[in-house]
Chain A
Amino acid sequence: GAVVSQHPSWVICKSGTSVKIECRSLDFQATTMFWYRQFPKQSLMLMATSNEGSKATYEQGVEKDKFLINHASLTLSTLTVTSAHPEDSSFYICSASSGNTHYEQYFGPGTRLTVT
């Protein structure tokens, strides 16, 4: 149980284009979803927290107009990187929490974004 999927697992895009990453909780309802970014050899950096049906809460320094987050249902959240630049190249990981089990977060497998 508690499986989270992400799609795509990797994507290469040209500078200036937008990329959408999907995060789905497959066997539970995720009241809260989290989006992280991780650069090579660095720890996870929380970008934003989203609750179903409400606007995401962004961490300081994360541009909400550049990283659009939608949490339209209890099983799906999307992150859209708009007007991507090479410095946005990173490993993007989502996690989901049902809020029932110690606020444990179940992680998706991650999406590796490369912007050329």
Chain B
Amino acid sequence: GQNIDQPTEMTATEGAIVQINCTYQTSGFNGLFWYQQHAGEAPTFLSYNVLDGLEEKGRFSSFLSRSKGYSYLLLKELQMKDSASYLCAVIDSNYQLIWGAGTKLIIKP
């Protein structure tokens, strides 16, 4: 079966750095997305990786290792508004988007 694993919940301090991991086992791979979802709102796009390596976009960076079936989202200089759920999603060989359950990130002052 297809599976995406993320930690359920993480806690970090304002101003710090946090890394949210995602591992996947899917039938094929055509890219990996990270989305941010605030409570009661729809997800918003953060990043897309299809090649190995690190993609940096402001305070957020996303890393992919296809051979390891592994990605992480790195958030720097954490702000209170970063408190949200972070969803990892993989496009499989049928171009279906497979969603992880999401990681709830709690930022403390």
Question: How many residues of chain B are within 8 Å of chain A by beta carbon?
Answer: 20
Interface string of A31-72 (1 = CB under 8 A from B): 000100000001110100000000000000000000000000
Which of B42, B95, B102 interacts with A93 by CB under 8 Å?
A: B42
- State which of B10-18, B21-29, B44-52, B70-78 sits at the interface with chain A: B44-52
Give Cα A104–Cα B41 distance, bound, in whole angstroms: 18
Q: From residue A4, how far is it (CB to closest CB) to chain B in Å?
A: 9
Inter-chain contact total with CB atoms closer than 8 Å: 41
B79 within 8 Å of A (CB atoms) = no
B42 touches A108 (CB 8 A): yes
Bound-state Cα–Cα, A44 to B4, Å: 13
Determine whether the beta carbon of B31 is less than 8 Å from that of A43.
Answer: no
Is residue A105 contacting chain B, with contact meaning CB distance below 8 A?
yes
Residues of B near A102 (CB, < 8 A) are 31, 48, 50, 91
Instruction: Give complex CA distance A46, B35 in Å.
Output: 15
Dominant secondary structure at the B interface? loop
B48 touches A104 (CB 8 A): yes
The reply to whether B45 and A103 form a contact with Cβ atoms under 8 Å apart is no
Q: What are 25 residue pairs bridging A and B, where the CB atoms are less than 8 Å apart in the complex?
A: A42-B101, A43-B99, A43-B101, A44-B43, A44-B87, A46-B97, A46-B99, A93-B43, A102-B48, A102-B50, A102-B91, A103-B30, A103-B31, A103-B91, A103-B95, A104-B45, A105-B97, A106-B45, A107-B35, A107-B42, A108-B42, A109-B42, A110-B41, A110-B42, A112-B40
Q: Give B102's nearest chain A residue, CB to CB.
A: A43
Instruction: Given the known inter-chain contacts A43-B99, A43-B101, please indicate yes or no for A107 contacting B44, CB distance below 8 A.
Output: yes
**Interchain nearest-CB distance for A56 vs B (Å):** 14
Q: In this assembly, does B63 line the interface, its C-beta being within 8 Å of a C-beta of chain A?
A: no
**How many Å from the CB of A60 to the closest CB on chain B?**
12
Mark out the residues of chain B between 65 and 104 whose CB falls within 8 Å of any chain A CB in the assembled complex: 87, 91, 95, 97, 99-102
Contacts of A34 in B (CB 8 A): 97
Report the separation of the CA atoms of residues A62 and B91 in the bound assembly, to the nearest whole angstrom.
21
When each residue 10-37 of chain A gets 1 if its CB lies under 8 Å from chain B and 0 otherwise, what string results? 0000000000000000000000001000
